[in-house]
Structure 1
Amino acid sequence: MPSSGLNLIKLVVGVSSVEELAERQKDAHNTRKHPQHSARLPVVHTRTFPRQSEEILQGGSLYRVISGLIQCRQQVLDLQTETRADGTQGTLILLSPEIIRVEPRAMRPFQGWRYLKPADAPPDMTNTQHTSLPPHLQKELMLLGL
């Protein structure tokens, strides 16, 4: 079931697959302890804090662009400010560990994150829809309208 709150969308840099993203999120640098959860949660570091944070925390997800395609989402569980090592302010997006694949959709590169309205978000894929095609082939087929 797609997320119900306002969503965020962000590029994943240096990752070529959903499986690689899942492995990266196991690294201690990419997780944080949260008082309401027993396990460490995946975290995304970003510069700016979303002004519409309340709407995001009402069931919103972070959709991830990998290899030019929106490929998955994770529910946003919390948004926190942080002070970085250089003294600047940043934001932590704490995510559910569950990665949900979505119907791939082409997306041009952009910096930072963007808001994504629920009506504009790609639907979740079912297990029968999962494809083993590499992302670059999925993107080419999509651009061809196939």
Structure 2
Amino acid sequence: MAKIISNDPIHLIKLAVGVDDVGHLHALQSSRLFDFDGALATCAWTRRKPTRDGGLLNGGSIYWIIKGRIQARQAFLGFEMEDTDEGPYCRLVLDPALMLVAAMPHRAFQGWRYLDPAKAPPDLRFFDPDLAAEDDEMPADLAAQLRDAGLI
């Protein structure tokens, strides 16, 4: 039986280890900015390169779990393998723009997993670090708790 390869968009989901909130993720990634084929990019690291990279590069994103909830996503720009003293690593090349998503609870796990686009939380707005402290919207954790309780 032939293997079916699809280039439909697919996503990854990954735990943002040690990250307190979306502003913290933004600050960490801002320190990793670099030029990737003429575009500004940032990155995250993982041990293994996703095998379904065609779908990831065709409109796919990485969704970040922060404090037990999916809270943000970033579009994929590419992948680069690098050899280190600890062995090979895959650099996930990401668009530096963070899209806030409707916070959704998710259990922790190691590494990354594929995320079915039908199960991805909806986008809210792009994260703006200049407005984050002045944001008068409901905190993401409170909104998620109310959503989980069926109140919003």
Please indicate the TM-score interval, normalised by the length of the shorter structure: 0.7 to 0.9
Q: Partners of 1:35 and 1:96 in 2: how far apart?
A: 12
Identity of aligned residues (%): 35
Q: Partners of 1:119 and 1:64 in 2: how far apart?
A: 16
Higher relative contact order (CA 8 A, sep 6+): 1
SS in 1 for 2:27: helix
SS in 1 for 2:48: coil
Give the corresponding residue for 1:17. 21
Following TM superposition, by how much is the alpha carbon of 1:5 offset from its aligned partner in structure 2, in angstroms?
Answer: 1.1
Residue ranges of structure 2 left out of the alignment (5+ in a row) = 1-7, 127-135
Aligned letter for 2:150?
A: G
* Alpha-carbon contact 2:30-2:96 (below 8 Å) kept: no
Following TM superposition, by how much is the alpha carbon of 1:139 offset from its aligned partner in structure 2, in angstroms?
Answer: 4.4
Given candidates 31, 38, 48, the residue that maps to 1:36 is 38
* Alpha-carbon contact 1:61-1:75 (below 8 Å) kept: yes
Is the deviation greater in 118-127 or in 57-66?
118-127
Give the corresponding residue for 2:62. 62
Q: Deviations over 1:7-63 (max 9, x none)?
A: 000000111111111011122xx34432332x3x21000001111011111010000
Alignment of structure 1 residues 62-141 onto 2, 5 Å: 62-86=62-86, 88-126=87-125, 131-133=137-139, 135=141, 137-141=142-146
Aligned letter for 2:37?
A: P
* Alpha-carbon contact 1:32-1:94 (below 8 Å) kept: no
Please give the TM-score of this superposition, normalised by the length of structure 2: 0.80
Q: Partners of 1:91 and 1:32 in 2: how far apart?
A: 16
Q: Partners of 2:22 and 2:92 in 1: how far apart?
A: 18
Structure with max Cα Rg? 2
Q: Deviations over 1:100-145 (max 9, x none)?
A: 0011100001110000111111110158xx834253x444434433
Q: CA RMSD in A?
A: 2.0
Please give the TM-score of this superposition, normalised by the length of structure 1: 0.83
Q: Deviations over 1:44-102 (max 9, x none)?
A: 0000111101111101000000011100100000011111133x111010100110001
Question: Aligned residues, how many?
Answer: 135
